[in-house]
Amino acid sequence: PRTGMSLGAVYGTATRTVATACASTPKAVHRLAFRLSQQVFGPVRPRSSQARHVSRRRALAIASPLVLTVLASSTSTAMSSASAAAAAARGFPAPIVVPPPEGGAASAVCIFLHGLGDTGHGWADVASQMPIAGVQWVFPTARTIPVTLNGGAKMTGWYDINDLDIDGIVDDRVQTLASADYIAALVDAAVADGVPAHKVLIGGFSQGGVVALTAALRSDKNLAGCAGLSTYLALRDDYPAALGPHAAALPVFLAHGTADAVLKYEYGTLTAAKLGEMGIAVDFKTYPGMAHSACPEELRHLAAFISAQVGL
């Protein structure tokens, strides 16, 4: 990416594009946060052997016209008052809460954070794609903030970002930690709702993964695990001093595509190496040819990780 280009055309727009290598099935599962700018990357012309980039919501609607209606109904009526209160107290929009597929009380909770320029709604249908018995999903939405790399334009973001280059990024300590504090409050809300901390998992995509790692590594609770998709570790120099008391035992799932032009594959390998140096067990998955995206194979691996860590 060229320095100074609009994040509306790069960082936020590229989120969850279905990658070349992972798009071998016609059941495309990811909605574009925005469309890629033709001025930046040129026209998107899928090869004939590739599946077309299809809205995840559209794909779900084709498979079952009732899915989206049921999802919307359940999330609007099952909102956790504790989660909503935690959001309101910190100036965040109320999160989307999807109850366990079988209904009833949750025995585990997965908190999953979106990327820059997206909202909790952008990932909420993941809950219907990987319905795990007993698992309640919480999809928080970031505050709307000015983004330096986007010329100061406002969009949803967990923190400000000034550059996409690994050597040029200056971590936004204040907002990164504030967002991590909010996620810690959502963990507390889950515990207040009766779910033990060791059954609570935090995850996120891109910028959301940054905050998920920050919150999980610094947590004072024995969490089930942390999952970071196409992401990196911010505030690296804080560690290991900033690690929480249970960080050494925290299972971490990291996934990155080799063709990521937004947060390069090197971000993922360096993050995995840094965590490994601190004695943290990392399951690092590589997806050849995948851009700043997610794919069905990755989601299957994510579902398996969640199921294994929450013990359901």
Active site residues: 206, 260, 292
Q: Distance between CA atoms of 140 and 156, rounded to whole angstroms?
A: 11
Candidates 295, 3, 47; CA nearest to 148 is: 3
Q: Does residue 68 come out as left (phi exceeding 0), alpha (psi in the -120 to 50 range) or beta?
A: alpha
What's the maximum distance between 2 C-alpha atoms anywhere in the chain? 51
Candidates 4, 41, 55; CA nearest to 162 is: 4
Candidates 118, 110, 151; CA nearest to 30 is: 118
Q: Collapsing DSSP states into helix, strand and coil, what is residue 20?
A: coil
Structure tokens at 213: 């790692």
Q: Distance between CA atoms of 59 and 159, rounded to whole angstroms?
A: 31
Which ranges in the chain belong to alpha helices (H)? 38-41, 56-63, 67-77, 81-89, 121-124, 126-129, 173-192, 207-218, 265-277, 296-310
Which ranges in 35-90 belong to alpha helices (H)? 38-41, 56-63, 67-77, 81-89
Which stretch of DSSP H or E encloses residue 22? none
Helix 207-218 and helix 173-192, axial crossing angle in degrees, nearest 10:
70
Candidates 127, 121, 168; CA nearest to 1 is: 168
Q: What's the distance, CA 263 to chain centroid?
A: 14
Q: Distance between CA atoms of 186 and 142, rounded to whole angstroms?
A: 13
Helix 56-63 and helix 67-77, axial crossing angle in degrees, nearest 10:
110
